[in-house]
């Protein structure tokens, strides 16, 4: 609790000008990080999309393989039913040779006819299952080809991304450390506001300078009196159009001189 109070007191002691300098410095280093990440472009998203697509293809192939196994089992079952039906037909044929009357003969004939229909139905189902299996096998082969292509694309994209990250990792870490350092001197209320504006602003610009009598973020004109207030650095002023924090153009030179 004492530490929190000390930090709050520290922040309270900072003049508005010092707070503006800190915020502008924070914006500058965050923009440097943004530039580094821009070098990566859409690569991280492309890598993620490819990884998701590969997982989807692998799942699809696995599901079709399981369905083929089920169809294969169904075909085997139907073949067994045909064998059983053929055995029954043979049995009924033998029994017909020993019947005592037409009634028994006709009854056996009906049973034989029924088993013949069962065989035809099983053969029909086997054809249907075989067609389904072949379709799924074709889909699997196509999916495997696409999978190999996507895996190759992913390897290339990852290699490209890793190369860029490797080249910029040290610089990015140094900037991240600088961001952390500056954030420790910015009061929490301002830091929350800064991050909120930055998140919603174009190009991540939360703090902008007044350039040619206009906001450096949205380019709307700023009245002369308001420009005087901004140059005085007596209070934190935001653009009434875009909500960005406004600072005068000379603040960068002042920061360099201070450092």
Residue 105 has a pLDDT of 92
Asked whether residue 142 falls in the same domain as residue 200, the answer is: no
Asked whether residue 101 falls in the same domain as residue 212, the answer is: no
Asked whether residue 163 falls in the same domain as residue 47, the answer is: yes
Q: Is 134 within the bounds of a domain? A: yes
Domain residues for 142? Answer: 43-167
Residue 36 has a pLDDT of 84
Residue 254 has a pLDDT of 62
Asked whether residue 47 falls in the same domain as residue 135, the answer is: yes
Residue 33 has a pLDDT of 87
Residue 172 has a pLDDT of 82
Domain boundary among 167, 198, 220: 167
Asked whether residue 107 falls in the same domain as residue 54, the answer is: yes
* pLDDT average per 10 residues of sequence, the chain (259 residues): 44 77 92 83 89 96 97 97 96 91 93 96 97 96 96 94 81 87 89 91 90 92 93 92 91 62
Domain boundary among 167, 202, 233: 167
* Contacts within 8 Å (CB) and 24+ apart, 87-94: 88/112, 88/115, 89/115, 89/116
Residue 230 has a pLDDT of 93
CA nearest 191: which of 236, 160, 157, 227? Answer: 236
Q: Is 51 within the bounds of a domain? A: yes
Q: Is 7 within the bounds of a domain? A: yes
In tens, the pLDDT along 144-176 reads 999 999 999 999 999 988 888 877 778 888 888
Residue 201 has a pLDDT of 85
Residue 39 has a pLDDT of 74
Residue 15 has a pLDDT of 87
Asked whether residue 217 falls in the same domain as residue 124, the answer is: no
Asked whether residue 139 falls in the same domain as residue 212, the answer is: no
Q: Residues near 192 by Cβ (< 8 Å), separated by ≥ 6?
A: none
Q: How many domains does the chain have?
A: 2
Asked whether residue 160 falls in the same domain as residue 57, the answer is: yes
CATH code of the domain in which 130 resides: 1.10.287.1490
Look at strands 245-247 and 214-215 and give their pairing: unpaired
Q: Is 177 within the bounds of a domain? A: no
């Amino acid at each position: 609790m004492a530490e929190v109070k000390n930090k709050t007191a520290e922040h309270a002691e900072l003049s508005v000008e010092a707070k503006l300098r800190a915020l502008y410095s924070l914006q500058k280093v965050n923009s440097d990080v943004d530039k580094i990440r821009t070098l990566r472009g859409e690569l991280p998203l492309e890598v993620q999309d490819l990884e998701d697509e590969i997982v989807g293809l692998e799942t699809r192939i696995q599901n079709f393989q399981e369905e083929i196994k089920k169809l294969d089992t169904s075909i085997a079952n139907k073949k067994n039913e045909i064998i059983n039906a053929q055995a029954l037909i043979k049995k009924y044929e033998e029994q017909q040779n020993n019947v005592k009357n037409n009634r028994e003969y006709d009854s056996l004939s009906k049973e034989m006819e029924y088993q013949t229909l069962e065989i035809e139905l099983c053969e029909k189902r086997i054809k249907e299952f075989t067609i389904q299996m072949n379709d799924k096998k074709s889909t699997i082969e196509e999916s495997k080809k696409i999978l190999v292509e996507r895996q190759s694309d992913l390897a290339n994209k990852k290699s490209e991304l890793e190369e860029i990250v490797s080249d910029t990792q040290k610089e990015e870490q140094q900037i991240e450390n600088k961001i952390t350092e500056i954030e420790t001197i910015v009061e929490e209320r301002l830091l929350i506001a800064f991050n909120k504006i930055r998140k919603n602003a174009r190009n991540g610009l939360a703090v902008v300078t007044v350039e040619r009598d206009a906001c450096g973020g949205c380019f709307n004109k700023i009245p002369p009196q308001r420009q005087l207030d901004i140059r005085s650095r007596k209070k934190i002023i935001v653009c009434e159009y875009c909500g960005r924090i406004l600072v005068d153009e000379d603040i960068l030179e002042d920061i360099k001189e201070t450092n």
